[in-house]
Amino acid sequence: MRNPTIKDVAKWSGVSLKTVSRVINREASVRTDTREKVERAIEALGYQPNPSARGLRSTHAYAIGLVYDNPNAHYVISMQDGVLSACRERGFGLQIHPCDSTSPGLADELCALVERNRLAGLVLAPPMSEQTDLVATLMEQGISFVRIISSREDPHDGSPCVYVDDRSAAYAITEHLIQLGHTRIGFLWGEPHHRSSPERYQGYANALKEYGLPLDKKLVLPGRYAFDDGFRGARKLLALKDPPTAIFGSNDEIAAGVLAAARSSGLDVPWDLSIAGFEDSPFSKQAWPALTTARQSTSEIGRHAALHLMADLQREGSEPTGAPPNECFIPELVVRGSTAPPRNNTPRNSPPRKT
């Protein structure tokens, strides 16, 4: 059987093709009862708008692009799933565009991408979303976009975004370790050009300060969001004369590397060493013991970013009603078996109190 067409929808609902088109494009001028009638027809017939055909029949584009540069396969797949779900919900196509965030020609590359593929706009994932020169160029070229960024609060910089409060989540992880009785807590960075890395470090540092614990720079090591860096970093920390009793990895891949290093050193996790990660990726659930982490719904972040972009696109050329507010996500602390009080913790050695 052939797929239902827009003509079938118009005939079933008893309206014109133009009215069906207006409903599909979510134009505000359609009466509520008419919109509901057309939507019932769409659902009954199983009609799916064709984004490419819509773009050819109209001066508007009905596809968006997702731009990313991230070595974490779990993050990329989850982000794609979230953006794609929003596109399917709103009848948009999706162009996936991996790129090199360090390329000097990145701005020209993205402008060409939009023009060549007739994209309505872009969802910018970190770290491109945090490059001010790139954002400024896209704005100058009149390209619609929404950014996914790491930020403690809404930047209010005139550029639409979905922001993730990594700092508060990292504070919660560090506070959890402190309240268990740990006073020497190592920290392993991810890539410094991802703003999530300094934000997570700041949350760690803030928790130490508020509980009156010193920030020992020997316990803080640079690195990347990678298993190997977690393994190497943990080996260095565990070789110290006064090693940490807990290590906080900036993401779950790093934390999984720390767990492997602990095992290779004959340590019993969590009693000899507590380990925490960030993001709640498969690494955290499949490890043994499972990793304490911060649950970050990457797919939901991607979905809301795409919906934000589509809401902005819908406003273009219509009566000004104010831009949709920027949305905030705060990753949630998830306590699992990789963290516990240090082995030498006794009732006399009570955990520090917040100052």
End-to-end CA distance of the chain: 71
Report helix, strand or coil for 44: helix
In a shared domain, residues 159 and 252: no
- The per-residue pLDDT for range 211-266, each reduced to its tens digit, is 999 999 999 999 999 999 999 999 999 999 999 999 999 999 999 999 999 999 99
Q: Give me the torsion for CA of 113, 95, 80, 231, rounded to 10°.
A: -40
**Structural domains in the chain (count):** 3
Other C-beta atoms within 10 Å of 202: how many? 15
Average pLDDT over residues 45-72: 69
Phi first, then psi: give them for residue 311, nearest 5 degrees.
Answer: -65, -40
In a shared domain, residues 36 and 152: no
Model's pTM, two decimal places?
0.79
- Inside any domain, residue 350: no
Helices 6-13, 32-45: inter-axial angle, 10-degree rounding: 120
Length reported for the chain: 355
- Judge whether 154 and 329 are in contact, CB under 8 Å: no
- Judge whether 259 and 269 are in contact, CB under 8 Å: yes
- The per-residue pLDDT for range 76-130, each reduced to its tens digit, is 899 999 999 999 988 899 999 999 999 999 999 999 999 898 899 999 999 999 9
In a shared domain, residues 171 and 276: yes
Range of the domain at 64: 60-165+297-330
User: Above 90 in pLDDT, residue 201?
Assistant: yes
How confident is the prediction for the chain on average, in pLDDT? 88
Taking only Cα atoms into account, the Rg of the chain, rounded to an integer number of angstroms, comes to 24
In a shared domain, residues 171 and 285: yes
In a shared domain, residues 95 and 10: no
In a shared domain, residues 174 and 204: yes
Which pLDDT belongs to residue 2? 65
DSSP type of residue 128: G
User: Above 90 in pLDDT, residue 64?
Assistant: yes
In a shared domain, residues 134 and 234: no
In a shared domain, residues 170 and 291: yes
Q: Domain containing 70 — which CATH number?
A: 3.40.50.2300
The confidence band for 323, taking pLDDT boundaries of 50, 70 and 90, is low
